[in-house]
Copies of this chain bind each other. A is one copy, B any other.
Amino acid sequence: MTSYWTSSVSRVAGDKVMIRGYDLESLIGGQSFSASCFLLVRGRLPTPAELRVFDAVLNAVLDYALLKPGTVAARYTVSANPNMVAGLASAMLAIGPLTLAPEETGRFVAESYARYQSDGTSLEETAATIVDEARAQRRRIPGLGHPLFKRVDPRAAKLKQIAVAEGLWSERGELYELIHRRFVDAIDKPDMPINDVGMMAVVLLELGFSPAEMTGLAAMSTLPGVIAHVSEELRDGRPIRVVPDEDVDYGEAVARDFAADRAAAGWRPDTDDGQT
């Protein structure tokens, strides 16, 4: 008979907490938090090279002032409900297809590479086919473009440089770069770089993480910034933040007549007691 739940992440046995098979006590003081993060999600210890690359990934999108929607949402939230975890949860919820979630790129690169492996064509030919198809189907290539950075996103460049130096860069990354170059040429936007989230996806794929895990890791990597912002808001902020009226266009003021409109909608004032 099978159990309703199965799990191999951790277990509590007697008075021991076992994390992926290791005694939790040996991890405390035994390795860095990033190494334990790698262990928990990947299921095994990282090598020194893997950890250097992993730490670089976790440093890639640390914070982005009040130009990141999740940070702003978190600060509005705690201005009304001064509670750290409410702020953290709120910031998490602003991670999705438009920002910070590498999973779409991760999936795209994995599928592109699988195709390269099965088609038997060169990297260049595979890239060309993929770009042509995407354009024919009016699909965008994920992981490209940034409001600020043109041609090169320096954070992405730094990530790649570290991955290459540590021997954790492969044909997968090359294929994605070929697709990128061919795509921006085709649409005549040579300025459009591979952005940091796109590069995170490539590198995390190399490290063996699944697309969903990539989004989880990207989300976690932004939390120190969120903690700092929420702490700042709780200490120095304004209770019950609003959007100042001068920043909003509420349109022309209209004053509708409730009783008249209700009658016009078919409600009889004498028999309908306002409760229907």
A positions within 8 Å CB-CB of B: 2-13, 15, 17-37, 40-41, 43-49, 51-52, 55-56, 58-60, 62-70, 72-74, 76-77, 79-90, 92-101, 103, 147-149, 154-155, 158-159, 161-162, 210, 212-213, 215-217, 219-221, 223-232, 234-236, 238-244, 246-251, 253-256, 258-259, 261-262, 265-267, 271-276
Contact = CB atoms under 8 A, between A and B. Distances in A.
Contact of A227 (B20, B217, B224): B217
A220 to B, nearest CB: 4
Contact of A215 (B12, B29, B43, B84): B84
Contact of A262 (B31, B56, B86): B31
A265 B47 contact: yes
Contacts of A21: 254-256
A64 to B, nearest CB: 6
A231 B41 contact: yes
B66 A17 contact: no
